[in-house]
Structure 1
């Protein structure tokens, strides 16, 4: 895989118009790693905070994949006829990832599930990392090479518009968590000013309150 078509080592080498999409993948990897680090240290007293954070992450990933299935894949199929074979592989990957997330959620809910949370977290992390590597190798060259910037931007706007309120209020501070300031500025420039200011203030504070207890478990 060409290194420019991966976000595993950051998004700087990707075309600027793809960096917001790539930041979502960066955020998923980051938080899957945080879950792996936190799971062995969770106690009955910290389980609720971890579960609250996990539900937010779950909702973001679930929306991201639904938006791919409902918006991105059909759009690419219409514009790039040979995309159909790639789409079938992505749908299979999504099913495996959903099953691993369901296992994490089940262990979070059960009082006896904490002992099984660590292996479930490791499995989720590995499936996610493998899936994103596979997806980026297949999708980024198509997005960069077969679509104009205007075509991609139109699709991206529809994807963002499909986000439910609970995801939209979490998305901006989540995407920018630990992001390079230059990338934050570049991607943030495409966000309407009122929403960007809200994301950098109230929503950022709310986000940090959710994530801080998880960071304390590492």
Structure 2
């Protein structure tokens, strides 16, 4: 009898992608309203950049190489991994361009933010529709745990104090429970007692 492969729970990945989508929408609205220079929008942008940098750096270091090893000899799947890396690389110059435009409130800021939003949204959709099913097929729970461990290490305690309430921002009760169920037990209590109130006081993007 062949043992059934245990399924990977992608709740944290989806929650992180949804947080990026939420912030892209907030950034687009802030820029359209002429609020790009406000401290809250600047702080929101800095946090967005950091979260995206951590997320993609750990994917490049801990996730895609594991998938590549697992699909060796499978050209189509290897090509998909190449696409994931290329899409990450395409985002870097857009982040720099938006950063520079925000610093001087450049006239082309709205179009640059729009381009960044489209490219990142397309990448996350591609990852969810193509890469995550492949990961489910070829990686083990141990592999996924190593990726999650790399993410936790990259964030560190100080980063987690922002990342957790950032994910929770605007999420309904079901989404909160699904996400927190994947976190270490103390996180839910610490977030409720300390992290969330500190995060909310910052009013990132003016939210």
TM-score (ref. length: structure 1): 0.81
What is residue 39 of structure 2 aligned with on the other side?
48
Give 1:52-71 correspondences, 5 Å limit.
Answer: 52-71=43-62
* Residue segments in structure 2 that go unaligned for 5+ positions in a row: 1-6
What is residue 196 of structure 1 aligned with on the other side?
188
Tell me how far 1:43 sits from its aligned partner.
Answer: 4.5
1:119 aligns with 2:111: yes
Tell me how far 1:17 sits from its aligned partner.
Answer: 1.1
Give 1:11-26 correspondences, 5 Å limit.
Answer: 17-26=9-18
- On the 8 A contact 1:101/1:124 being kept in 2, the answer is yes
CA RMSD of the aligned region, Å? 2.2
What is residue 132 of structure 1 aligned with on the other side?
124
Tell me how far 1:212 sits from its aligned partner.
Answer: 5.2
Distance 2:205 2:121 in 1: 24
1:145 aligns with 2:137: yes
Tell me how far 1:114 sits from its aligned partner.
Answer: 4.6
Q: 1:124 to 1:167 in 2, by over 3 A?
A: farther
- On the 8 A contact 1:172/1:199 being kept in 2, the answer is yes
Dislocated runs of 4+, deviation >3 Å: 148-151, 164-167
- On the 8 A contact 1:103/1:120 being kept in 2, the answer is yes
SS of residue in 1 equivalent to 2:107: helix
Q: How many residue pairs are counted as aligned between the two chains?
A: 198
* Residue segments in structure 1 that go unaligned for 5+ positions in a row: 1-14
